Amino acid sequence: MPRGKFTNHKGRNRRFTNPEELEEERRKEEQQKKWRQTHGESEESEEEAAAEKKISEESGSGSESEESSEDEDAKGKGVSKLIEIENPNRVQKKAKKVSALDTADLDNKPQLSRREREEIEKQRAQAHYQKLHAEGKTDQARADLARLAIIKQQREDAKKRREVEQKEKETAAKEKTAQVRKALGKK
């Protein structure tokens, strides 16, 4: 064995099963299958029994490390052997017939994205609001109409005031001209 820092420990504790042991295990499995077939047990119980046997053999001897790793890969790790999981992101291409493809494409509407749907909904809501606003049914429209009524009233009052002031100026001008003419002696 080499001395120094470059030592390799990989092959030290490896043990291999004898071909005689493998042959003996195969015979036992065949005998058990024959016995089960004659006694009518289902295939599921055979698989369970075989799995239990392999587990007990693995725990009993460390010499089958290579076989156990292959069996575990075939079975699946954890609960993956019990639950079939499908990747939702995986797209599977399916062959379609031309006749089915044409009718299916015509029947289905084009699917809109979330943003497009939200934009269309926003436009519909805006149009609906504008319609209600024009009819005066919204709070903002009522407030605007009230403001307009106040402004109209103020303008009418201001117009009346101006008319009154205009009449007063005209009458004052007439009186002044009348006084000037009287003073000058004209009629």
| Other residues' Cβ atoms within 10 Å of the Cβ of residue 64 | 20
Distances from the Cα of 141 to the Cα of 33, 127, 148, 154, angstroms: 87, 15, 10, 20
Q: How far apart are the first and last CA of the chain?
A: 152
Helix, strand, coil percentages (3-state) for the chain, rounded to 5, are 70, 0, 30
Chain-centroid distance of CA 5 in Å reads 56
DSSP 121: H
Q: What is the pLDDT along the chain (187 residues), one digit of tens a residue?
A: 556 676 777 766 667 788 899 999 999 999 999 998 988 755 555 566 666 666 665 555 444 444 445 554 555 666 666 666 777 777 777 777 777 766 655 556 668 899 999 999 999 999 999 999 888 888 888 999 999 999 999 999 999 999 999 999 999 999 999 999 888 887 6
**pTM of the complete model beyond 0.75:** no
126, two tokens: 């805006």
